[in-house]
Structure 1
Amino acid sequence: MSEDMNEPVTLSSLVAASATPAPMRPAIMVVAFEGWNDAGDAASSALKTIKAATGAVKVAGIGDDDYYDYQFSRPQVRRNAAGKRVIKWPTTRIYRASLPDSPVDLLLVRGVEPTYRWKAFITEILTRAEEENVQGVMALGSLLADVPHTRPIQASISSDDPKVREALGAGQATYEGPTGILGVLAQFSEAAGLPTLSIWSAVPHYVAQPPSPKAELALLHRVEELFPLTLDLHELTEDALAWERGVNALATGDADVAAYVQQLEQAQDETELPEATGEAIAREFERYLKRRHRHGAAGSHEEHEPPEGQDPATGGPETPQSPDTPDTPRTPGTPD
């Protein structure tokens, strides 16, 4: 924990402390892509929630035809407010948001994982990031994993930057194998000297179809911890509980699925027994102090209770070491 109990270390404070003076406020770039790194649409949905909550304004878009195979990432036909049919093309959009209680702004990047020219695509994003005075990068991802839907979902954080790991208690990614666009972005960002952090949530592989509100909720709780940002997650919490009840009903109707879920529960419970440690308790106490400090600054002392069934000390199951494991093939949609 930080030495100043009233001002715990966050990614925002860490970036602000090392930012060089510039005409534009420093920003942290938060990125999510539909496709391989977005099981259950949890990561892209989380970024959409952040965008809506912060009132982020579009500042740029990344060219479409240079990067997408439209037979794979198919355009979508929609009707606009006037009832006219329009085509929405897969693309990547960049938004900027100001956080009143933060020393840094947010630059939100939400799009569809490109098909072609990944190096050029990432270079274009980082060029725009430099123009927006980005001083740090946070990537959001979700993956399919052997976890039970009945247990809290944990969003794990990792970084290859030793200073980030030490300051925020992040782990070091150990995965080796095929990677998605987030893995490429992380490497290019680190090479550019930007502190980079990844957050991954696990989606039960037997309920891979989107949406996955429980995994999205886990990501957003982590985001709240790492920024002076308080999101209204009451509706999403209700969605997560309803989702779990729905999956429960499906599982109880199939003896094989029910037995498999029970097996996953037992394996996870046995793995997590040692988690009630002093370190876990200290981590939750720091999380409490962050919430209290933010509400105190806003003149409100209301505390947000963790969702029903969530262990506030651990946050849920440990995310597997393969954050770039592909989800089931699907046709990516078009970001807002």
Structure 2
Amino acid sequence: MQDPAGLYEVVLDTTEVPVGLHLVAGLTGFADAGSAVTQFSEYLLDTLKHEIVASFDVDALLDYRSRRPSIFFDQDHLSDYRPAKLRLYLMKDELGSSFLLLTGFEPDFQWERFTAAVLQLIDRYQVKTTTWVHSIPMPVPHTRPIGVTVSGNRMELIDSLSIWKPQTLVPANALHLIEYRLQNLDHPTVGFVLLVPHYLADTEYPLAALTALDSIGAATGLIFPTDHLREDGREFVAKIDEQVEGNPELARLVHTLEVRHDSYMEDNPMRSPLTDEDGELPTADAIAAELEKFLAGRRDDFPPQ
């Protein structure tokens, strides 16, 4: 394997980065249900003070043909080219506490080398803990709090916050591999997988980003400004509820998800929050179809955050 240090360039002088900080990570490109990772990363960069610590080599890690960057065609010329970025930032939370944020695209190539590079940076800055977030679509109702599945070696967080503990093969992402390597080094690490209503998976669901921030706060003690997200979340849910109330069939389907969710949370001997007593997936395609029509008709009510 080539030298992992060749994958990144340190931008900020090492003396300017305090040692012993928490590292928070979220990478986009795979199953970002509710745009949770995209939203929480953009929200932090938009609202908190930050500096670039290290920048990763995009050309070495990105498959441009599968994830093409954007460029603006302005009548007769091109402008505003927006290349992909993968960076480590030095951030300050709302109370001025410093932490590190690794965010950007999930690498398409060289996962082992990328993992080794991240571990180098963790060692270089003597990172205290590593916390990462991810989100997946699940047949759960939007009328209940977003649950999380927690992994890693911080058992106090797993025991107190993880509502679903499956035993199953899952498609891995790059942060899974980093967590796996860190576990073997006994480095304190935790991953939060947000369980987002799958009929809202293709929207920018503010409460998904809020749950990501709340989970990170629980793991690190960091404080984030979330009032704007909370207000956006209330408005979003109010509009969804309005659509559900006006459609008896949709209301019935959401109620079915509520019953199954509540049964699971009451320790009903069901195999998972996904299935009913017969092991069948609840039918939520109708929910997705109805809400897709609703959101398409009111797209202006949901501006990008």
- TM-score normalised per structure 1: 0.65
What's the counterpart of residue 30 of structure 2? 36
CA contact (8 A) 1:153 1:215 kept: yes
1:227, 1:242 → 2: CA distance? 29
Residue 190 (1) aligns with residue 183 (2): yes
SS of 1:26 mapped into structure 2: coil
Do the aligned partners of residues 238 and 319 (structure 1) sit closer, same or farther apart at CA in structure 2, a change above 3 Å counting? farther
1:66, 1:151 → 2: CA distance? 42
SS of 1:222 mapped into structure 2: helix
Q: 1:269 is matched with which residue: 249, 262, 265?
A: 262
2:40, 2:255 → 1: CA distance? 29
What's the counterpart of residue 10 of structure 2? none
What's the counterpart of residue 223 of structure 1? 216
Map Cα deviations across residues 41-75 of structure 1 (whole Å, 9 max, x no partner): 10232233334444121111110111111111111
* Counterparts of residues 60-99 of structure 1 (less than 5 Å): 60-78=54-72, 85-98=79-92
Shift of 1:37: 4.2
Shift of 1:274: 5.8
Shift of 1:169: 3.6
2:168, 2:103 → 1: CA distance? 24
Residue 209 (1) aligns with residue 208 (2): no
CA contact (8 A) 2:34 2:204 kept: yes
2:185, 2:94 → 1: CA distance? 28
What's the counterpart of residue 154 of structure 1? 147
CA contact (8 A) 2:264 2:273 kept: no
Query: How high is the sequence identity, in percent, across the aligned residues?
Result: 23
CA contact (8 A) 1:101 1:228 kept: no
CA contact (8 A) 1:35 1:112 kept: yes
1:188, 1:214 → 2: CA distance? 31
1:67, 1:153 → 2: CA distance? 32
1:221, 1:167 → 2: CA distance? 13
What's the counterpart of residue 118 of structure 1? 111
* Counterparts of residues 162-311 of structure 1 (less than 5 Å): 164-166=154-156, 169=159, 174-252=167-245, 254-273=247-266
2:251, 2:132 → 1: CA distance? 34
Do the aligned partners of residues 231 and 78 (structure 1) sit closer, same or farther apart at CA in structure 2, a change above 3 Å counting? farther
SS of 2:191 mapped into structure 1: strand
Residue 55 (1) aligns with residue 49 (2): yes
CA contact (8 A) 2:261 2:273 kept: no
- Which segments of 5 or more consecutive residues in structure 2 lack a partner in the other structure? 1-16, 275-305
SS of 2:137 mapped into structure 1: strand
SS of 1:197 mapped into structure 2: strand
SS of 1:66 mapped into structure 2: helix
SS of 2:35 mapped into structure 1: helix
Runs in 1 of length 4+ with deviation above 6 angstroms? none
Aligned pair count reads 250
Q: Which AA in structure 1 matches 2:155?
A: R
Do the aligned partners of residues 114 and 256 (structure 1) sit closer, same or farther apart at CA in structure 2, a change above 3 Å counting? farther
Map Cα deviations across residues 14-43 of structure 1 (whole Å, 9 max, x no partner): xxxxxxxxx942122111011214212102
Do the aligned partners of residues 84 and 71 (structure 1) sit closer, same or farther apart at CA in structure 2, a change above 3 Å counting? closer
Q: Which AA in structure 2 matches 1:92?
A: L
Shift of 1:155: 3.4
2:26, 2:98 → 1: CA distance? 17
1:130, 1:270 → 2: CA distance? 44
Map Cα deviations across residues 112-131 of structure 1 (whole Å, 9 max, x no partner): 11211211122222222322
CA contact (8 A) 2:71 2:82 kept: yes
CA contact (8 A) 2:131 2:216 kept: no
- Which segments of 5 or more consecutive residues in structure 1 lack a partner in the other structure? 1-22, 276-317, 321-336
2:92, 2:223 → 1: CA distance? 14
